[in-house]
Amino acid sequence: MTGLGRSRFLQVLTDAGIVALSWFLAFQLRFDHGIPVYYDTLLRRTILLVVAIKTAVFLLFGFHRRWWRYVSVRDMWSAARGVVVASLVADVTVYLASPVHDVRLPRSIAVTDLLLTLAFVAGARLLARTLMERPRMGVVARGKEVIVVGAGDAGRLIVQEMQRSRLLAYTPIGFVDDDERKRNTRILGVRVLGTMAELPRFVREYKPDEVLIAIPSASGEMRRRVVEAAQSADVPVKTLPGLYELISGDLDLAGQIRPVQVEDVLGREQVEVDFDTVAAYLKGQTVLVTGAGGSIGAELCRQIARVGPTRLILVDNAETSLFDIERELVDERDFTAAVPKLVDVRNQKALRREVFEKYRPTVVFHAAAYKHVPLMETHPLESVRNNVVGTRIVAELAAEFAVDRFVLISTDKAVNPKTVMGQSKALCEWIIESLGHRRDVPTRFVAVRFGNVLNSSGSVIPTFRRQIERGGPVTVTHPEMTRFFMTIPEAVSLVVQAGAIGGRGQIFVLDMGDPVKIVDLATNMVRLSGHDPRLPGDTHTGPRDVRIVFTGSRPGEKIHEQLWSGDESVGETEHPKIKRLSRPPVDAVWLTDQLRELEALADEGDTLEVVAKLGAIVREPKREAVTAMPADRRRTEASPRTADERSASS
């Protein structure tokens, strides 16, 4: 018999003993001066029958499929219902089929038996849980003393696990919660010390080893206050992820507690998307992701694989990153429908033969692009070849093979672009718009524009992290520099939703919240690493200081990025974090001619001419006259507010 089988057998045996004891005591309590002979005979002849009936009912109610160690209030109510039903069945059986002639079961015995059984069943389970969760003196180390921020469900859950688990090795010494009604009350024996405003004093007085944030919905501002209060006394701060992650599947809090990261203190709310619902259009489809080995492309592959496409084609020209994402999907996520293709998006023949003709994708996410602004400034030919030419080739093949949907990953740097990279991405958006408005093209072309994504390859956060690990300095280009930030999973989930709601030739922009000052980001990262940031002009010095220096803006770099320009109208969509942009489309014939000239210059390798031509195209685009737009196209592209503005301008 396995350990689980033995445990359930002992539970059944215990409940059978409880039933027998309750039945016996009910008779004893009913007759104070001794049980009459005929009722004593009834007791002896019915006790095994009652045990059999009630145990069978308990089994039907699933009494023994629940671990007594984790018994809950819901389990108690279920047990109460089972006891009532079992008692009624047993009492009716004994009453109607009494083995003693003319002796019927008294109602008082039936009621007493019910109450005793209920009390013993509940008591046995509570006693088992109490004994299993008692502190093991001499076995469990006292561990780190911790103040828990948040006395709600998550806080109670983590303290409960601390008290019964040897793995965590934590001792909770108090809660902090802004609900004044909880002050000085005790939760699982741990006192609520006071409110968040008093946390700095509590940290100084109690000198905990750590402070733990146990509020899944805590804002970035709240987390920042906790970090500042704790670090003023050199106390590290850790946090829990969302409560859903804690209670889904096996509870492994030892692996869930983690240090506070910069994403936790940015001051913006996490975007929530019912991904399985919005991504339903990908189920059973053949999906192509270009740039599949990059930060955005790889996360696209992870999230798309959850939905269950028939085939997921991974295209990238970087061997190692393509190998990594393909192995992750197959080995770690058991998604065997992944097909890696080591193909460059600039190679039209290979892309046609190896991907579109062979697999006939129905949905395309185009994430392949060169994105590093300073590098593209020194390599404008590659920026044009990879971003502009690559996008044109993939988009035209998608139109030729009648792909259902095509989603371009764009960037806020395409808005009023001053850099080669931004200008190349602006042209990518125009290509998508132009193809999307063609009546002879069945594909729904859309572009999704967003700002920086946290922890993407080459982004500022990994750079800052490396600089801090070396002891500094941390380099910030300008003290007023701001950028929009969003996590990679958030951005990708919204990209997939935009693909679901997008119409032909539309541009979407993700609402990134308020921009973040880069110097504040650097300061927070230094503090979270356990150091003290030292800005230019600071007079204090210390052994843990990490200097932050300003190096000056790079050529073409904006102090503040924009998500849309002044000539673009912004409309709402069904998701509050996805905005629809409207603007007069670029003249398709003019764009084709300009792209032909630009690509010819890139083929000739004339860097200066390519830079000049690229800038001229973006500065002075030729757009279609609004009055010449077909009525059905205007309805598809424009929101009501945009339509009014266009009517006024025409």
Q: Is the pLDDT of residue 457 over 80?
A: no
* 516 close to 487: Cβ distance less than 8 angstroms: no
pLDDT at 471: 85
pLDDT at 69: 55
**Region of poorest pLDDT, from 102-111, 283-292, 293-302:** 102-111
CA dist 380 → 309, 410, 542 (Å): 37, 18, 44
**CATH of the domain spanning 282-457+483-516+556-637:** 3.40.50.720
Provide CATH code, domain 144-260: 3.40.50.720
- Kindly report which listed range (31-40, 392-401, 582-591) carries the lowest average pLDDT score: 31-40
CA distances from 16 to 49, 55, 95 (A): 11, 6, 21
Closest CA to 345 of 306, 392, 302: 392
CA–CA distance, 584 with 565 (Å, rounded to integer): 13
Residue (of 173, 224, 230, 178) closest to 201 by Cα position: 230
Q: Give residue 354's Cα distance to chain centre.
A: 34
Q: Higher model confidence: residue 361 or residue 5?
A: 361
Q: How many Cα atoms sit within 13 Å of 394 on the Cβ side?
A: 34
The pLDDT assigned to 645 comes to: 35
Q: What pLDDT was estimated at residue 640?
A: 34
How much is the average pLDDT of 98-103? 61
| Longest distance between any two alpha carbons in the chain, whole Å | 115
pLDDT at 384: 94
So what's the pLDDT on residue 512?
A: 76
Helix (H) or strand (E) holding 160, with range, is helix 153-164
Going 254 to 257 to 259 to 262, the CA torsion angle's sign is: positive
- pLDDT tens for 108-125 read 888 888 888 888 888 887
Res 245: pLDDT: 44
pLDDT at 266: 65
Pairwise pLDDT comparison (639 vs 224), residue with the higher score: 224
> pLDDT-derived band of residue 362, with 50, 70 and 90 as boundaries?
very high
Q: What is the phi/psi pair of residue 287, to 5°?
A: -110, 135
Q: How confident is the model at residue 67 (pLDDT cuts 50, 70, 90)?
A: low
Per-residue pLDDT, 392: 95
Best CA proximity match to 429, nearest among 328, 517, 506, 364: 506
User: Does the predicted TM-score (pTM) go above 0.75?
Assistant: no
The beta strands (E) that lie in 300-375 are given as 311-316, 338-342, 363-366
Contact assessment for residue 154 and residue 215, using Cβ atoms and an 8 Å cutoff: yes
Question: Does the pLDDT of residue 452 top 80, yes or no?
Answer: no
Contact between 403 and 364 (Cβ < 8 Å) = yes
Q: Provide the CA 627 distance to its chain's centre, in angstroms.
A: 45
Classify residue 369 by burial, with Cβ atoms within 10 Å: 0-12, 13-18, 19+: buried
Give the mean model confidence (pLDDT) for residues 198-206. 89
Please determine, for residue 359, whether its predicted confidence score (pLDDT) is greater than 60: yes
pLDDT for position 449 = 86
Give the model's pLDDT for residue 393.
Answer: 96
Span 219-260, pLDDT tens digits: 777 888 888 888 778 888 888 765 444 443 344 554 566 666
Residue 485 phi, psi dihedral angles, 5° rounding = -135, 150
pLDDT score at 142 = 59
**What's the pLDDT band for 631 if we cut at 50, 70, 90?**
very low
Average pLDDT, integer, range 499-518? 82
Query: Predicted confidence band at 611 (pLDDT cuts at 50, 70, 90)?
Result: very high
The first and second tokens of residue 120, run together, are 């013993």
Q: Which residues contact 166 (CB under 8 A, 6 or more apart)?
A: 136, 139, 140, 141
Q: What angle do CA 620, 625, 627 make, to 5 degrees?
A: 165
Which residues of the chain are in CATH 3.40.50.720 domains? 144-260, 282-457+483-516+556-637
Nearest 5°: phi and psi at 173? Answer: -110, -5
| Residue 33 CB neighbours (<10 A) | 5
Asked if the model's pLDDT at residue 644 lies above 60, the reply is: no
- According to DSSP, residue 587 is labeled P
Q: What's the sign of the alpha-carbon dihedral 38, 40, 45, 46?
A: positive
Alpha-carbon dihedral 41, 45, 48, 49, rounded to 10 degrees? -120
Residue 649 banded pLDDT, cuts 50, 70, 90 = very low
Q: Is the pLDDT of residue 358 over 90?
A: yes
- Contact between residue 192 and residue 211 where contact means Cβ atoms under 8 Å apart: no
Distance CA(294)–CA(384), nearest Å, equals 19
| C-alpha–C-alpha distance, residues 259 and 202, integer Å | 20
List, in order, residues 6 or more apart from 356 with CB less than 8 Å away: 397, 398, 400, 401
Distance, CA of 300 to CA of 407 (rounded, Å): 12
pLDDT over 70 at 132, yes or no: no
Q: Over range 598-602, report the average pLDDT.
A: 93
The rounded mean pLDDT for the chain is 81
What confidence category does residue 70 fall into, taking pLDDT thresholds of 50, 70 and 90? Answer: low
Mean pLDDT on 130-151: 66
- State yes or no: pLDDT of 279 exceeds 90: no
